[in-house]
Chain A
Amino acid sequence: MFIRTVEHDTSLDKFRAEVRDFCERELPSVIREKQKRGQHLEKHEYISWLQRLGSRGWNTGKWPKEHGGLGWEPAQFLAFQEELGRAGAPPLMSFGPTMAGPVIYTFGNEAQKRQHLPGIIKGDLWWCQGYSEPGAGSDLAALKTRADRDGDDYIVNGQKIWTSTAHWADWMFALVRTDQTAKKQEGISFILIDMKTPGITVRPIIGITLGHHLNEVFFDNVRVPIANRIGEENKGWTYAKFLLANERVGNVDVAKVEGNIEQIRQLMAETREAGKPLSDDPTFNRRLAELEVGLATVKALMADQLAAARLSGAPSLMGAAALKLRGTELQQGILQTGLDVLGRHGMVYQSDALHAGWNGEMIGPESSADVIYEHLYRRAATIYGGSSEVQKNIIAKGALGL
């Protein structure tokens, strides 16, 4: 109980000011404007921002110093996210900094670190996650995409699905089967695939948001150098789980959540019921307070996991599961509140307004389309990164010994 010391480092005030100042000067006005209007960024816009963050080392501030990070304490990383959220900056990138990077610096060899870490630190490259397959969702270890040795290469054949932003990605980290006969967890390897390799086809999946975020990725005799394998052959499951724990801590992007709460507060102020703004409504204010309690709790859980990661190299699988469970419920709760406000404007969803150049007339508050998009997209928060049911199974087995 209450063991860990929570540092109250006043020097963070200086750091916070530095981040605020940085956002003020460096956030390109196109991005600022789009963020404000809830419009979606193009890849090049996103990359240009990540590169600016990268010039300070801030994409990977929480990485240990020996791997090119800044060795941030959890409190500093949280402060960083809060300031970004308040400044209206785009959400942090997780595929490289939270997922691929730590696996590479923990389990990769020197050549792999030299090849891949700088691109992630600098924010130059886009990564995607090739885990799920049509037959392997919650039962991830059932994956079938195979990699067969041929000289210095693996020949990869099979299919991934639900691959977020694969259409933007330069690289994919993927789980493939390298032993067809072993027990399912024991025949998996973790490899890095250059998305420009011949034989890869990326097909879009349109989501309930009406947006294109998800993809199917097909591999038809794709040659991947064996040198791109992380760690040992057939030990990929260990690295995969290490990554998942990091992913789940990162699933709840505190900056984004703070931004969403701010958006809802704004929506309430702009929405009237019988002439009075909802920001005066006791029921809505009570709900807002409840969401703030949720956020404070999730931040505290997150600080624990970041501290654990700093001490032992990784968050605990159990702790990450608990955080992911409650954090994603919180996200959904916030966006549900947003929807409950927007019902008063007729629940209009002008999804075209999410793209720059739209010049229609918005019905209701300016952020309506973004809030509805987010609401729909975050239905998946309790599905991706391992569903809530799966997190509960992890805790039941791992923490409670059931």
Chain B
Amino acid sequence: MPSLSSEERQQLHDSLLELLGDKYTFEQWKKIARSPGGEGFGRAEWKEFAEMGWLGIALPEEVGGSAGGLTELGIIMAAVGRFILLEPFLGTVVLGASAIEKAGTEQQRQMLSEVAAGKLLLAFCHGEPGGGYARDWVKTVATRDGAGYVLTGEKGFAIGAHAADQLIVSARIGSENGPVGLFLVPRSAAGVALNQAPALDGRPGATVTLAGVKVGADAKLGTSDSDRLGVIDEVIDRGVIMACAEAVGAMASVTDQTVEYLKTRQQFGQPLSKFQVLQHRLVDMSVSTEEARAIVHAALQALDDKTRDAQRLVWMAKVKTAQCARFVGGQGIQLHGGMGMTDELSIGHYYKRLTMCETLFGDSEWYLRQLSLRRDAA
């Protein structure tokens, strides 16, 4: 797997922090998040990220990417978390792009150049009501209609679906027992209805109802009718590990912010950071962040190296990261006292984002269960 040298990774990391630290201040964040009638993220920012080459970091060179590995994408996602960027990295660059890359035809993969250029937004619409975190629960059906298909079904809340140009929809081909295919459905297609709502962290998304949506033969990713659940599994795993990388960045920021706050906040005639019980708490936050960083890094490496236990490691990383995120996010608020409870301070927004990262695609309990069920298989 071609990927960057350690020095190049360091440079990437530094340039991310430098540019974002400069431009993506919390004041700017609030402006974007609260802009009336806005989409919940910045189009201008997205374009700029594309120009920096961040969106195409892990995409093939033929489509204008830099053919980096998942470790490089992870570095970007950690920065996304550190600044709680609002732009649709997970939906477009992680989930959407990997579905097209893994399942698409040569021609469909050309769309990735638009992803890299920041011109195409995607949303991955797979989960359905009643499925919970189960990855193989697909009731939506794509019946054949001449050379094309007609899609009917309900998709659960998908992040970024409200603004996506193309929805990537899973559906059973032919009948409710058919193999699961992936379809490109324009958000504006007739028969597509969205119920837009904010998630816990305020970011918009939507549930999607498909009421007899007609699409052409080329809407199906790939040409064969073979079952795509394996691809879906890989796409979700990629979402899992990138949400973990994002959480690691967010945790690092929460820890830094809390250390700074306790150094300046005076009570009982001294800075709160002088109380040993709080020092130990900060140490636990810092060590938790470090634990999560280490196991996420190990999982990214395993994915890049395509080792046999890569999936197991991804799931373990998810368990550990979710547990650490819950602790670090919660303590971020706790140690800020009343200040942590206000919408004006960033710490609460980090808590909310960490809660999302923690539960997206399954929470720690769910992955522990999966790990225990598949222990024999490992």
Contact of A162 among B157, B268, B338 (CB under 8 A): B338
Dominant secondary structure of chain B at its interface with chain A? mixed
The answer to whether A208 touches B157, judged by C-beta atoms less than 8 angstroms apart, is: no
Q: Give bound CA distance, A351 to B363, whole Å.
A: 23
Q: Mark B81-102, 1 if CB is under 8 A from A, else 0.
A: 0000000000000000000000
Does A263 lie at the interface of the complex (its beta carbon under 8 Å from any beta carbon of B)? no
Partner of A372, one of B136, B137, B200, B269: B200
A208 touches B198 (CB 8 A): no
Q: Say yes or no for A243: interface residue by CB 8 A criterion.
A: no
A residues 355-402 near B (Cβ < 8 Å) are 360-361, 363-364, 372, 376, 379-380, 382-384, 387-389, 392
Please give, as numbers and ranges, the residues of chain A lying within 8 Å of B69 by CB-CB distance.
none
* CB neighbors of B among A267-294 (8 A): 271-275, 278, 283
User: Which one, A7-15, A46-54, A316-324, A339-347, is touching chain B?
Assistant: A339-347
Instruction: Given the known inter-chain contacts A283-B369, A383-B337, A389-B278, please indicate yes or no for A363 contacting B133, CB distance below 8 A.
Output: no
Q: Which residues from chain A contact B363 at a C-beta distance below 8 Å?
A: 340, 343
Identify 22 residue pairs between A and B in the complex whose beta-carbon atoms are under 8 Å apart, listed by A's number.
A138-B268, A139-B267, A139-B269, A206-B342, A206-B343, A208-B333, A208-B342, A208-B349, A210-B343, A214-B338, A273-B133, A347-B157, A347-B200, A348-B197, A348-B198, A349-B197, A363-B195, A379-B340, A380-B341, A383-B337, A389-B275, A389-B277
A161 located at the interface, meaning its Cβ lies under 8 Å from any Cβ of chain B in the complex: yes
Which B residues between 346 and 378 are near A, CB-CB below 8 angstroms? 348-349, 351-352, 355-356, 359-360, 362-363, 365, 369
Q: Which of B129, B326, B343 contacts A208 (CB 8 A)?
A: B343
Interface residues on A, range: 35 or more
Which residues of the partner chain B approach A271 to less than 8 Å between Cβ atoms? 132
B134 close to chain A: CB less than 8 A: yes
Interface residue tally for chain B (C-beta within 8 Å) = 50
1/0 contact trace for B125-151 toward A, CB 8 Å? 001011111101100000000000000
Which residues on the B side are within 8 Å of A376 (C-beta)? 352
**Nearest A residue to B265, CB-CB:** A137
Q: Closest chain A residue to B330 by CB distance?
A: A379
Contact call A346/B157, Cβ cutoff below 8 A = yes
Does the CB pair B278–A205 fall under 8 Å?
A: no
- Give the chain B neighbours of A350 by CB distance below 8 A: 197-198
How many angstroms from the CA of A340 to the CA of B323 in the assembled complex? 12
Shortest CB distance A57–B (Å): 35
* A to B contact number (C-beta, < 8 Å): 130
How far, in whole Å, are A332 and B343 apart by their CA atoms in the complex?
Answer: 20
Q: Give the complex CA separation of A283 and B133 in angstroms.
A: 15
Residues of chain A whose beta carbon lies under 8 Å from any beta carbon of chain B? 132, 135, 137-139, 142, 161-162, 205-208, 210, 214, 271-275, 278, 283, 336, 339-340, 343-351, 360-361, 363-364, 372, 376, 379-380, 382-384, 387-389, 392
Residues of chain A with a CB closer than 8 A to B4's CB: none
Beta-carbon contact of A272 and B130 below 8 Å? yes
What is the chain B residue whose CB lies nearest that of A287? B365
| Contact indicator A363/B343 (Cβ below 8 Å) | no
Residues of chain A with a CB closer than 8 A to B340's CB: 208, 379, 383
Contact partner of A137 among B131, B195, B337, CB < 8 A?
Answer: B337
Whether, in the assembled complex, B344 has its beta carbon less than 8 Å from a beta carbon of chain A, the answer is yes
Complex CA gap A382/B334 in Å reads 7
Does B71 belong to the interface (CB within 8 Å)? no
Secondary structure at the A interface, as helix, strand, loop or mixed, is mixed
Assembled-state Cα–Cα distance A361/B369 (Å): 33
Q: 1/0 contact trace for B49-89 toward A, CB 8 Å? A: 00000000000000000000000000000000000000000
Asked if B273 is at the interface (CB within 8 A of a chain A CB), the reply is: no
Is B132 within 8 A of A339, CB to CB? Answer: no
Residues of chain A with a CB closer than 8 A to B356's CB = 347
Known contacts A272-B132, A339-B359: A361-B195 contact under CB 8 Å: yes
Query: Smallest Cβ distance from A367 to chain B, in angstroms?
Result: 15
**CB nearest to B338 among chain A residues:** A162
Q: How far is the CA of A273 from the CA of B369 in the complex (A)?
A: 13
B343 touches A348 (CB 8 A): no
* B17 interface contact, C-beta 8 A: no
**Contact present for B343 and A340 (CB under 8 Å):** no
Interface centre among B131, B267, B277, B348 (most CB of A within 10 A): B267
If A142-B267, A340-B359 touch, does A346 touch B199 (CB 8 Å cutoff)? yes
